[in-house]
Amino acid sequence: MLLALASVVVVLGSITDPIVEFAVGVVGDLGLVGIFILMAPESACIPIPSEATMLFAGFNVSDGRYSLWAAVLVASVANLVGSWVAYAVGYYGRTSVLEKHAKKLHVKPSYLTWADRWFEKYGDAAVFFSRMLPIVRTFISLPAGVARMPLLRFSVLTFAGAVPWNFGLTIAGREARDNWTDIKDKLHYVDYLVVVIILAAAAYLLVRFVKHRRGRARPAVDAA
């Protein structure tokens, strides 16, 4: 398991560095427009690191190219627009793919019912706080759409969660202008940590699921 996690981290390192360079170049060349171009797909399940985008945006704020709140507002609106795209994919994909081809995909109706109930109970906190977590923030809109979370509530929570994340990164970039090169080279380490945690949690849930299935199968075997 540890070897697999290490392999994932190494692979991500080779992928993340050029993406960071690309994000820095777009923001540097296009300014606020570049922020929107990068932050919209970042919320539509395309893993463009918002850390690179907004930290370099903070550098430009320090340089006087635009104001702090202009950068934060553009980034947050872009996050909302991108989230709508991912939400729509989940919302309409549920009917056209998950429900229509449930048997082929081994998706039981009870799974969708569980997702609906989970989002009804915990969805507000999940959508809001996930906007402040690397990697997770990129994908949370998709399951929200699958669970048919009300669009207005989803939109308010998404925007509200995006603002503090974008504000914090922009402030950090503005204050760390002189050390930008060193910071840029270390951006991916935060994402690595989150990836390791997610994979470890997924492995734990998989083990519990297998044990649960085996536990249910034993009484049937004994009865036979």
Q: Predicted confidence band at 137 (pLDDT cuts at 50, 70, 90)?
A: confident
For the cut 90, the answer to whether the pLDDT of residue 54 exceeds it is no
Q: Cβ distance 26 to 38 under 8 Å?
A: yes
- Residue 163: the pLDDT is 95
CA–CA separation, 86 and 59 (whole Å): 29
16, 115, 210 from 110: Cα distances, Å:
37, 9, 18
Does the pLDDT of residue 81 top 90, yes or no? Answer: yes
pLDDT in tens, 3-19: 333 333 333 444 445 66
The candidate with the shortest Cα–Cα distance to 137, out of 79, 81, 187, 89, is 79
pLDDT digit string (tens) for 149-187?
Answer: 899 999 999 999 999 999 988 998 887 765 655 655 555
Question: How many other C-beta atoms can be found within 10 angstroms of the C-beta atom of residue 2?
Answer: 8
How would DSSP label each residue in 107-147? --HHHHHHHHHHHHHHHHHHHHHHTTSTTHHHHTHHHHHHT
- Which structure tokens are listed for 22? 């690309």
pTM of the model: 0.68
